[in-house]
Amino acid sequence: MADVPYDMAENGTALPNPERPEPVRANLERPAAAGHEIPASRVPGMGNGVFAIVITLLVLELRPPGISGVLDGAGRAQELNGAILNLLPRLIVFFVTFLVAGISWVSHTWSQSHLSRLDSRLAFLNIIYLMFVSLLPVPSAPLGAFGDTPTGLASYALNQVLIVLAFLWMLWHAVRHGLMAPGWQAERLGSGR
């Protein structure tokens, strides 16, 4: 093994071989981890990033009302009142969607904190889940403007259902394949323990 730039530790981790410097492309020559496992510590960063971007995009849909500068005091006040009333449906959708994103983040954080390991299938299911979460701003924007139409409401509801199904699929896979840490069942989601 002196001709390879690394030695293998007992746990399968590649260690540098001091007898031979590592070539620039050595990372392509390293064997894949057993069972295609990915460090569970890698998941929270991506999830937190997706949720932060989603929440930012949600708030960008809220634009301050434009008021013309040519009206007198009473006319401007009346125009502002009308503009704020027109903004109300978007504010309601923002608050509801922000809460949905927050609950989804708490659920995701809880489930990921109880993983003992992560396989490639669970990593892929996590990507699917985060994809549906990242779509939250898309049906939210038309719902604020067209919430009284079946299409506006159906697209929003469909996205919510897909988020829940993806989360349950991810959790089911983790439980079925023994990826959860011992004792995870003793702690309920939302119990704060």
Enter the pTM of the model. 0.70
**Structural domains in the chain plus CATH codes:** 1-31 (no CATH), 35-63+89-182 (1.20.120)
Mean pLDDT calculated for residue range 53-63: 87
Per-residue confidence (pLDDT) for residue 24, from 0 to 100: 36
Angstrom distance (rounded) from CA 24 to CA 36: 23
Q: Dump pLDDT digits (tens) for 113-172.
A: 888 888 889 999 999 999 999 999 999 888 877 777 888 889 999 999 999 999 999 999
How far are the Cα atoms of 2, 10, 29, 31, 70 from residue 26, in angstroms, in the given order?
14, 20, 5, 10, 69
Say whether pLDDT at 192 is over 60. Answer: no
Mean pLDDT calculated for residue range 57-63: 84
Q: How far is CA 66 from the centre of its chain?
A: 33
16 DSSP β-pair partners? 6
Say whether pLDDT at 93 is over 70. Answer: yes
